[in-house]
Amino acid sequence: MKEDVINNATGDPIVILIVDDEPDITTTYTMLFEHYGFRVDTASDGKHALKIIDSVAPDIIVSDYMMPLMNGAELCTILKKDTRWKDIPFILVSAAFHVKDIDTPYDLLMQKPVAFDALLKQILRFLMKRT
């Protein structure tokens, strides 16, 4: 049974954009978040995310840090400079310990491996702040 989730301002399901180059992660997160009623879109790297962001219009972004072509920190910096996307909560996840020392305007840094329930809790916390 699906859990009730917060809808966005238009009454549609919340859209989560998952950006990760590991298909197992995007598939698992997609399945779990959709179970809770979220709509999920995925991108395999930062450049792919930039190509689809206009059509996806995410309410929240969860991005891996280390990816080919464009990493999560670069993606976050670009989006936070754009007035259309700067207010979207950006969760950066990484197994790299040095990431916490980078100068990136992410909203939250989570250390991999990230338990789904911990990620869901943080997403719901961000969404509750917006209502």
pLDDT of the chain, 131 residues: tens digit per residue: 344 556 776 778 899 999 999 999 999 999 999 999 999 999 999 999 999 999 999 999 999 999 999 999 999 999 999 999 999 999 999 887 665 656 778 999 998 889 999 999 999 999 888 75
pLDDT at 10: 73
Whether the Cβ atoms of residue 89 and residue 58 lie closer than 8 Å to each other: no
pLDDT at 96: 75
pLDDT at 23: 96
CATH superfamily of the domain spanning 15-125: Response regulator (3.40.50.2300)
pTM reported for the whole predicted model: 0.90
Domain map (residue ranges) of the chain: 15-125
Q: Which residues contact 8 (CB under 8 A, 6 or more apart)?
A: 14, 15, 59
Instruction: Give the integer Cα–Cα distance in Å for 78 and 82.
Output: 7
Q: Which residues contact 100 (CB under 8 A, 6 or more apart)?
A: 109
Evaluate the CA torsion angle 106, 108, 111, 113 in order and state its sign. Answer: negative
Residue 52 vs residues 34, 47, 49, 57, 84: alpha-carbon distances, Å = 19, 9, 5, 8, 14
φ/ψ (deg, to 5) at 40: -125, 135
